[in-house]
Amino acid sequence: MPREIVHIQAGQCGNQIGAKFWEIISDEHGVDPKGFYQGDSDLQIERIEVYYTEASGGRYVPRCVLVDLEPGTMDSVRSGPYGQIFRPDNFVFGQSGAGNNWAKGHYTEGAELVDSVLDVVRREAEVCDCLQGFQLTHSLGGGTGSGMGTLLISKIREEYPDRIMNTYSVVPSPKVSDTVVEPYNATLSVHQLVENTDETFCIDNEALYDICFRTLKLATPTYGDLNHLVSLTMSGITTCLRFPGQLNADLRKLATNMVPFPRLHFFMPGFAPLTARGNMAATFIGNSTSIQELFRRISEQFTAMFRRKAFLHWYTGEGMDEMEFTEAESNMNDLVSDKKHKDIIMTREIVHIQAGQCGNQIGAKFWEIISDEHGVDPTGQYQGDSDLQEERIDVYYNLASEGKYVPRCVLVDLEPGTMDSVRAGPYGNIFRPDNFVFGQSGAGNNWAKGHYTEGAELVDSVLDVVRREAEGCDCLQGFQLTHSLGGGTGSGMGTLLISKIREEYPDRIMNTYSVVPSPKVSDTVVEPYNATLSVHQLVENTDETFCIDNEALYDICFRTLKLTTPTYGDLNHLVSLTMSGITTCLRFPGQLNADLRKLATNMELFKRISEQFTAMFRRKAFLHWYTGEGMDEMEFTEAESNMNDLVSEYQQYQDATAEDDYDDDEDEDYD
């Protein structure tokens, strides 16, 4: 069932942006300037009722209310390309204007017109079968959009308290306008938006100006240029509401996914055109602490004027009290403070574990790279030059005495040699000495030794260190393990550790960076056994596994980097760089998650290992090394079956996707 949205555009800026928005989405839905459908795809009209109502004669009319305190903007909209598409009764305007005065829009001129607007809003809401909410386009810098816009929001909130209230709010900048009282209007508006909206998309005029001037090389960007960017972004944001899909399919789902705390519902959108086959674009919505810079900029401009009581008489003359300014300023400052505070408490730590020779070599290189990125020197002292380096450093580091940063890292092996190599490395002294846990015998490339005998004897000592690190966290989000699936310690003891940690911390994320073996890189013949037995455990006990294919790494080094004989060091360097990239979104401020490959791309990798495993297991080759450690052949059979099931599941997913693509192609050919 389509869930309708009533769109309201208030003030000159709101109406200009709104008019452009309706042009763009009408074109996307195949609706011509007269309101008639001229499209060529069922997708265009499948959810068209979200924003349009079907009137007599098959004409589509926007669910739109157009508001201003002067008639000029209304005339411009009517004379525009899609001016005839709107319902004539939905134009509501005054004659006097607000004169860039928030108080006029909110308390005097706007208050006189607001009942007429609400009558139209009610009429639009009553014809909806299942109204999901309202969206408002307006500017925070003028008088009508900011003052009357926020008055409308509060009135609609009173009548429809259980519907979502969403705004596209243009934040002013001195670069674009010379209206001196904009900081007053913006701060007074934000004071209202904090309390009365569920989602506010903050469109920064300063950022738009910089895009036009620096990127698009426009010498003197006009409002038309800026509005075009805004309307394209609005089109991108609303795509998930207007076309079939699962992600953020309505306003409430969007709020659920994006708003961690009720007051912090201010989003920063981003838009990027993509050059590809067909017309594509990507729109990003972020709710991050970076928005505090925008609020701080407005707040500083507000404070500079308010201290001198500059221009205040224009507002008090409309019946406002100075106390409202003080409250608005305080609320804006609290919002900036909230953003800081929430970012601090939302820093969620990760305990890193590196097991076996491969896991420790990769881990050591990983810590070198991210320490450099965070400005941490080999002694653990911060030597960086940016606040961003330290803002979320607590995710991977613990601040010890004398300002030294110590990795939240546990280093594990069944022989001491690798530990000595890590200690002797460039960042060997940065680790906590007590966190090196190792045996003396090694695992001899035998998964069973790592999982059942040698590793089982050492596992309690490792868990003691893991617990200590976990207890030192304020808000532990989970664990990450670097290991190889081909050896004995990383694969056998690594998966044993995972299962034990999963038992103690069932509600924490378990993430692994698992190096998948290849004959091109190693001559250890039992690697397929070790890898398959490990995958059998990873399927059950991890939430996320990044499969790092040694064969692919080797080919990159050999074919792309032209290295004649790639070493483990070359491969490990690539792995650690990849890990650094994946964890960037965890270590630095931002909302965008790391981009993961489709799971289906891993299918061939699993199939290769499965075939090698089967070739040996049919002959029971090397099996005695495992059964001699207490394993039963049935475990091999179960692991093989689990691996084959995994391949089968990926295959089914890939076939289903291919079938859908084929059906789409057929439909296009038919059309």
The position carrying tokens 């009722």 is: 49
pLDDT at 670: 52
pLDDT at 282: 52
pLDDT at 335: 81
Q: Are the CB atoms for 177 and 187 separated by under 8 Å?
A: no
The position carrying tokens 């020779």 is: 357
How many CB atoms within 10 Å of residue 381?
A: 13
pLDDT at 445: 92
State how far the Cα of 178 lies from the Cα of 172, in Å rounded to an integer: 10
Question: How high is the mean pLDDT in each 10-residue block of the chain (671 residues)?
Answer: 88 95 94 94 91 93 97 95 96 94 96 97 95 95 95 97 94 82 95 94 86 85 85 85 73 75 81 48 55 86 93 93 94 76 59 96 95 95 91 91 93 95 95 96 93 96 96 89 94 97 91 86 83 92 88 86 84 88 77 33 54 81 82 90 81 66 54 52
Cβ-in-10-Å burial (0-12, 13-18, 19+) of 111 comes to middle
State how far the Cα of 534 lies from the Cα of 626, in Å rounded to an integer: 14
Q: How far is CA 329 from CA 264, 315, 608, in A?
A: 17, 15, 63
pLDDT at 341: 44
In the chain the first and final C-alpha atoms are separated, in Å, by 26
Token digits of residue 372: 């450099």
Token digits of residue 533: 């037995």
State how far the Cα of 465 lies from the Cα of 213, in Å rounded to an integer: 55
The position carrying tokens 């190889």 is: 484
0.85 surpassed by pTM: no
pLDDT at 359: 95
- 70 DSSP assignment: S
pLDDT at 469: 96
Equal CATH topology for 4-288 and 349-600: yes
In CATH terms, the fold of domain 349-600 is: Rossmann fold (3.40.50)
DSSP assignment of 124-145: HHHT-SSEEEEEEEEESSSSII
Host H or E run for residue 163: none
List the chain domain ranges.
Answer: 4-288, 349-600
User: 435: closest CA among 416, 411, 455, 452?
Assistant: 411
Pairing of strands 436-438, 409-413: parallel
State how far the Cα of 133 lies from the Cα of 136, in Å rounded to an integer: 10
Torsion 667-668-669-671 (CA) sign: positive
Q: Are the CB atoms for 244 and 47 separated by under 8 Å?
A: yes
Pairing of strands 397-399, 405-407: antiparallel
| CA atoms within a 13 Å half-sphere pointing along the CA-CB vector of 4 | 19
User: 154: closest CA among 106, 108, 122, 109?
Assistant: 106
How many CB atoms within 10 Å of residue 222?
A: 11
In CATH terms, the fold of domain 4-288 is: Rossmann fold (3.40.50)
State how far the Cα of 33 lies from the Cα of 582, in Å rounded to an integer: 46
Helix axes 527-541, 494-504, angle to 10 degrees: 10
